[in-house]
Amino acid sequence: MGPVTFARLLEQYPDLRQLFTHAKQVQNVSDRTRSALINPDWQQIEDDLAWFSQPNRYIILQKENNYPSLLKEISDPPSILYAQGDIELLSQWKMAIVGSRNPSRSGRDTAFEFGQFLAQGDIAICSGMAMGIDAAAHQGALSGQGKTIAVIGTGLDRIYPAKHSELAYEIVEKGLMVSEFPLGTPPRSENFPRRNRIISGLSLGTLVVEAATKSGSLITARQALEQGREVFAIPGSIHNPLARGCHQLIREGAKLVETASDIIEELGALAAVSLPATDSFQTRQNADELDGEYQVLLDCLAYDPVEVDSLIQVSGLTADAVSSMLLLLELQGQVESLPGGRYVRVGS
């Protein structure tokens, strides 16, 4: 059954044992649901209970005290949550970080560093364990010895995407994984918008790092606005299609963010968080100082994409020299190559 039907049945039968006792009299459910209540799949139930009997695995009903209070405030909170890991994180302040599944390297680094910095301020980073920005935010939080929560669109016994199995293991060991879907639920497209409302619903605010104008990240941001939560967006180059979603959110009232301190200042009083000693976005160290022609070339690079021919013309360097120096600067993480033979500066 779906969450609406389940919530309605919980209201009618707070003691679920009574629901099964009177299954034949249950109203306003499909014949299939009624049949399942009358003749449950006991083997599946036993298998599920065996899975949840293992350490740090939980089933949480909305009426229970450890159900997250912020999530309970949204218009359609899940009636049940399945969780694995550190259950205490449900009572900790949380910040959602979401964005593109195919971000630029700069966007991925930004999500990592925001996650790392905010987690050092005792805020748990909440995201969806998707490719790209989500994964980088989780990894940033874990690298800073902070905490992170992954809200997934499958059952807890399914890892999606499969290549994130190692990340999922680390999150379960050091953080928390949450789902509203029962064990065995596969990744279905309709599950992920439902998952997104939980990501924003658990959190004080939602930060969008990079997003196209039509993306799941914007859905999460709009759900956060509907839930009365703060929305933050990081601006980018007008030439970057992944910045357009963030610019759209800013036009619609999202708060423009340049450093993690911008978020702390907005939410700090509410969440009573403590700032780390320094803001990594204000004090990030450059690579070793560059001399001579390397510095000339770097000075010619902007934070908007530049074609190689333009760099050769402006810098006065030879084509061979520019090509070799761009390779070194890219290896140092100071520039990023883009399609069409263009380069963009990504260092601070």
pLDDT at 320: 82
> Can you list the pairs that 321-326 forms with residues at least 24 positions away whose Cβ atoms lie under 8 Å?
321/293, 322/297, 325/293, 325/294, 325/297, 326/297
Number of domains in the chain: 3
Considering 18-22, 130-134, 297-301, 316-320, the range whose residues carry the highest mean pLDDT is 130-134
Highest mean pLDDT among 32-41, 130-139, 251-260: 130-139
* pLDDT tens string 84-133: 999 999 999 999 999 999 998 889 999 999 999 999 888 999 999 999 99
Q: What is the pLDDT of residues 324-336, one digit of tens each?
A: 788 778 777 788 8
123 and 270 fall within a common domain: yes
| One domain for residues 94 and 212 | yes
**Higher pLDDT residue, 298 or 251?**
251
Task: Measure the CA–CA gap between 345 and 118, rounded to whole angstroms.
Answer: 25
What's the CA gap between 154 and 180, in Å, rounded?
8
Percent of the chain with pLDDT over 90: 53
Same-domain pairing of 314 and 275: no
Same domain, 14 and 124: no
Beta strand 148-151 with 335-338: parallel, antiparallel or unpaired? Answer: unpaired
3-state SS, residue 68: coil
At 122 the three-state DSSP class reads: coil
Do 157 and 180 reside in the same domain of the chain? yes
pTM assigned to the model: 0.80
Q: What is the mean pLDDT of residues 230-257?
A: 91
Q: Is residue 25 part of a domain?
A: yes
CATH code, 340? 1.10.10.10
Q: Residue 282 has what pLDDT?
A: 41
Distance between CA atoms of residues 250 and 322, nearest Å: 37
CA-based torsion, 104, 191, 166, 273: positive or negative: positive
